[in-house]
Structure 1
């Protein structure tokens, strides 16, 4: 198909509304894109096990997870970018001293370094994934981790940013930040997929709404910010659609001429 495009969708606030529901118009739009011969992919900060049901519902087997650190193309692992374990161990020690718990995450599971903490419960509950991390303070040993969650109030991550230069810190909740390999992003993960598929920049699209979407939206040529996105997210996108609650995906796909 000469005019085949690839469209990357964020999940929370983009595919899913604020109740973590998939609007019918969005589901219908995704299947219409595939009927037209386009490639449809997910680009999310979530772990693969956090959106398995969504992938099955939409029949999507290409995705950028962990904000670009673990990438799968048509069901096959394409790219891995793990955290520096030595630096992570030092960060964990500092966080424990500050009563800031962490959750270690690989492509299969997540484990917390403390038995329980209100910050963990409060933030993970908002994802509505039906599971919480179990306790294993040594889960980082002997395995590749692609993201860690650091739980601390807003602006308290600054102390870690100043000390741990192997990592990027991206806030996704008032009491939680993603800890990623330095320079890792959805944009980097997307690059791996489009290079392998040979899809030109003018045929690449991305939809998102969050702070962790900013590099993706500023890099992908045809980028669309959701109407519910913050203004600084909208400022880096080429287009702005309606909010997720107002059939924003359907409207945006029509606006850019894909539907």
Structure 2
């Protein structure tokens, strides 16, 4: 199979635990691009959380916010915001349990509580600025994803209370909240349709629970060696750790670089 496009998760895939891109990965992405293969970021992060990473790699197309906001060469081509009534239900339920929320638009993000320790712990782990404070941001702007700040033993409080939403843990104190049908796969399919490409012509790299659908839908799904153990069964191939040439070795396996 001659693959024409490759999608890359960020955390644990393009960047390591120190949130740095290994030089080996930079070289591999450049080699891929030199062969005319499109490199696309596919992440749960919002665009303002990964701009320096995209610029460092020379990537200007991305599937962001877990598939809810897709940009091709600087132009938005797909977006799916969370319905206002579902946000209202989430806000009300989180308030009952004193759980902080962060609302993510495509260009700004705001918290409904200032200085919550769970929020600070999670957001600072991404090595990005903390959100501003605006508890009504969700009422006035399109929201594509929400950070729900609670611990693992508290997740059950939401699965049945607000079933129209999907919850994916990415940090010990944080979950991504997105529409029940939302996933990176949805955003990838939208971009492939825009480019008139089939899913069989795509490769994807990932390591987290929010990568399962993405790895399953493409022609070749590659899990990083450092992947969550529940992710690996959904991949066609498990490459090396992010710090051990995982991207390069995966692209070589796909026949995309030497």
Decide: shared fold, TM above 0.5: yes
Counterpart position of 2:65: 66
Q: 1:160 aligns to what SS in structure 2? A: helix
> Is the 1:47–1:105 Cα contact (8 Å) retained in structure 2?
yes
Counterpart position of 1:167: 165
Counterpart position of 1:33: 32
| Cα distance in 2 for residues equivalent to 1:217 and 1:202 | 12
Q: Do residues 213 (structure 1) and 220 (structure 2) align?
A: no
| Cα distance in 2 for residues equivalent to 1:252 and 1:236 | 15
1:10-159 aligned within 5 A: 10-129=9-128, 131-159=129-157
Q: 1:232 aligns to what SS in structure 2? A: coil
Shift in Å, 1:183: 0.5
| Cα distance in 2 for residues equivalent to 1:170 and 1:200 | 27
Deviations along 1:163-200, one digit per CA (max 9) or x if unpaired, are 11221111111111011011010000000111111223
Q: 1:257 aligns to what SS in structure 2? A: coil
Is there any run of 5+ residues in structure 2 with no aligned partner, and where? none
Q: 2:246 aligns with which of 245, 248, 252?
A: 248
Shift in Å, 1:55: 1.1
Deviates more, 1:191-200 or 1:5-14: 191-200
Q: 2:138 aligns to what SS in structure 1? A: coil
Q: 2:232 aligns with which of 227, 231, 234?
A: 234
> Is the 1:68–1:190 Cα contact (8 Å) retained in structure 2?
yes
Shift in Å, 1:3: 4.8
Q: 2:90 aligns to what SS in structure 1? A: helix
Counterpart position of 1:186: 184
Deviations along 1:90-147, one digit per CA (max 9) or x if unpaired, are 2112212211110111011111111111001111111012x00111111111210000
Shift in Å, 1:207: 0.2
| Cα distance in 2 for residues equivalent to 1:136 and 1:197 | 38
> Is the 1:4–1:39 Cα contact (8 Å) retained in structure 2?
no
> Is the 1:84–1:166 Cα contact (8 Å) retained in structure 2?
no
Q: Normalization by structure 2: what TM-score?
A: 0.97
Shift in Å, 1:4: 5.8
| Cα distance in 1 for residues equivalent to 2:140 and 2:86 | 14
What is the count of residue pairs matched by the alignment?
257
| Cα distance in 2 for residues equivalent to 1:184 and 1:83 | 10
Shift in Å, 1:155: 3.2
Q: 2:230 aligns to what SS in structure 1? A: helix
